[in-house]
A and B are shown apart, each in its own frame.
Chain A
Amino acid sequence: MKPGTRLKSAACDTEVMVIRSGDGTIECGGAPMGEAKPAEPAPLSPDFSAGTLMGKRYVDADGKYELLCVKPGKGSLSVDGVALVIKDAKPLPASD
């Protein structure tokens, strides 16, 4: 998936922008995400329903995937069924 690609959730309002990614399937709410929204919404999996937060970056344990949430929703993000976590960045003081 090319950096800059926008993906939409099939199960909720979530939209992400790909910052970096591998070959796995990026999912939200348990359903694969795509560049267009499917005609029929997918059901929201209770295992992936913690929600996404605007402006947060989500990463996998290996640092292979990084997604920026540009629209929040009820689903949560995963790659091939493994949940992504919020990237913990130490806040920096404003420098400009």
Chain B
Amino acid sequence: MNIALLLEMAADAAPDRIGLVCDGKRWTYGDLLSAARGAFELIQESGAEYVALLDESSEAAVIALFGAALAGVPYCPLNYRLPDADLAALLDRIAPALVVGDEERVERIAGEQGHTVYARELFTLKTQEVWPADDEREYDPGQGIAVQLFTSGTTAAPKAAILRHSNLLGYILGSVEFGAAEESDAALVSVPPYHIAGISALMSSIYANRKIVMLPSFSPEGWLDLVAQEQVSNAFVVPTMLSRIIEAIDKGHAADLGSLRAVAYGGGKMPLEIIHRALDLFPQASFTNAYGLTETSSTIALLGPEEHRAAHASDDPRVRARLSSVGVPLPTVEIEIRDEEGRVCGPNEPGEIYVRGDQVSGEYKEKSALTADGWFPTRDAGYLDEDGYLFLSGRADDVIVRGGENMSPGEIEDVLLTHPAISDVAAVGIPSVEWGEAVGVAVVTREGHQPPSEAELKDLVRGRLRSSRVPEKILFTSELPYNEMGKLLRRKVKEVLAE
């Protein structure tokens, strides 16, 4: 089973339908498939063992993804924001590769590694020109690796997560109905190409025959303009993107969101305030919260549109609370919560999230992380409520252990965020002679407010949670460190608080 099947089927069923729009240029499914076949020829000719993308999103991402699949070599989009030394080390791990994108940079930092490099324009041009001498080609049967993604590597050297054709096809075939999109549907893809959501978006849109509208590099203004210009119906955003979009609307940027019917979000914790604002600002749009990981080929749990509106409108605290859940597992995956001894937890009992299913790879180039019976320990902490809704409480590694008692940073942060003068907060474990670890918090004061006193914040936590949760150290700061995908860099907060 080869993921190229997704594009082949789209090109078979609707060769002349527009499949992708980028920088004003339109590509039909037929164009994209013939370019992917052209890419196959370039890859074969180069002898590359990987196809890498070092570029913003464009049609080249689709052509390289499926071209690599046809040629049977892994597609490995790289984070172009990495410093030179880190990027050179990653390029070395995939040498020799056919690299599409920043030619000058690859020559400069990895010129000796034996890569074949094409600038984006040359690559897309060549893939349209190159055509096999005869029509019959032996394409790869798809038994191997389709995509390799390097993890962000905040703890150690980046790990190479691998996704097999069978994982990705398991995900797409299990969750997307072929050709289900209307001809007027358009999905705005604004996540970077090296993020799993940026890859799965290409595959699911193509299989649904939903036109992809690419935003090469995210800006809230660019996003709003493109929605209006291309009459976008679907969009996926990470929380920071949504909050910046709302900020731009608040500042008066023209927003014609009439075509927008469905917004999906994921990739980090969505502040409740933002989602309630978005529900008010886009009353005609349905909202879906998706939870997934690179190692699971994207989404494994969903909170659907009806559940969003019901929770938003409800007075029942239990129903309302679901807005901060990530919904229920996809029908094609199993999810379990396990405690440290590996025992399966009951409802509302926190532990580590385990997942199993065809789409779950749980595999790194170095080794597989799967248990003997196929479960992937996500290292995400959370619990399932009595109705099966999944709630996340941070990374298992972020749990604060104070005198043998485990506490999740999220519960402390949620309480502090109820203070009107606080706009953002991070709770982390700080070294403590007495307890091993104690709670430290970094707090951002809301614009136009005076910072609250330390005593006031401690009282707030003491009033709502057990006294062990009361922070021992409070630091006021102008902002918290996030990466470009909106993930809080707790390690950095920890370093600052430990000083």
A residues adjacent to B (C-beta < 8 A): 3-4, 17, 19, 54-57, 68, 70-71, 89-96
Contact = CB atoms under 8 A, between A and B. Distances in A.
A55 B141 contact: no
A57 B173 contact: yes
Contacts of A56: 178
A4 B166 CA distance: 9
Contact of B204 (A19, A57, A91, A96): A96
Given A94-B288, A96-B197, A4 B302 contact: no
Contact of A95 (B12, B173, B180, B266): B266
A93 B299 contact: no
A93 B286 contact: yes
Nearest to B203: A96
Interface string B194-208: 000100110011011
A57 B299 CA distance: 21
B219 interface: no
Contact of B178 (A54, A92, A93): A54
B305 to A, nearest CB: 6
Contact of B9 (A3, A19, A70, A91): A70
B5 interface: yes
A17 B173 CA distance: 12
B179 A90 contact: no
Interface string B10-26: 00110000000000000
Contacts of A55: 9, 13, 177-179, 207
The main secondary structure of chain A at its interface with chain B is loop
Interface string B130-149: 00000000000111000000
A20 to B, nearest CB: 10
Contact of A96 (B12, B173, B174, B236): B236
A17 B5 contact: yes
A24 to B, nearest CB: 20
B404 interface: no
B2 A95 contact: no
B173 A19 contact: yes
B304 interface: yes
Contacts of A17: 1, 5
Interface in B157-191: 166, 173-180, 187
A68 B236 contact: no
A7 B210 CA distance: 27
Contacts of B13: 54-55
Interface of B: 1-2, 5, 8-9, 12-13, 141-143, 166, 173-180, 187, 197, 200-201, 204-205, 207-208, 210, 234, 236, 262, 264, 266, 286, 288, 290, 292, 298-299, 302, 304-305, 330-331
A96 B196 CA distance: 9
Given A93-B288, A94-B187, A96-B201, A70 B5 contact: yes
Contacts of B5: 17, 70
B201 A93 contact: no
B177 A90 contact: no
Contacts of A96: 197, 200-201, 204, 236, 264, 266, 290, 298-299
A91 B480 CA distance: 39
Contacts of B286: 93
A17 B141 CA distance: 12
Nearest to A53: B178
Q: Which of B12, B208, B266 has the most C-beta atoms of chain A within 10 angstroms of its own C-beta?
A: B12
A56 B178 CA distance: 7
A49 B1 CA distance: 27
Given A4-B142, A54-B179, A55-B13, A94 B204 contact: yes
Contacts of B177: 55, 89, 91
B180 A4 contact: no
A36 to B, nearest CB: 14
Given A55-B13, A94-B204, A95-B175, A4 B304 contact: no
A93 B173 contact: no
A88 B330 CA distance: 15
A95 B9 contact: no
A68 B331 CA distance: 18
A57 B173 CA distance: 9
Nearest to A57: B173
Given A54-B9, A55-B9, A90-B331, A95 B236 contact: yes
A57 B172 CA distance: 13
Contacts of B299: 95-96
A95 B178 contact: no
A70 B142 CA distance: 16
Contact of B166 (A3, A92, A94): A3
A8 to B, nearest CB: 14
Contact of A94 (B8, B210, B331): B210
A93 B142 contact: no
10 contacts: A71-B12, A89-B177, A92-B304, A94-B205, A94-B262, A95-B236, A95-B298, A96-B236, A96-B264, A96-B299
Given A94-B234, A94-B262, A68 B173 contact: yes
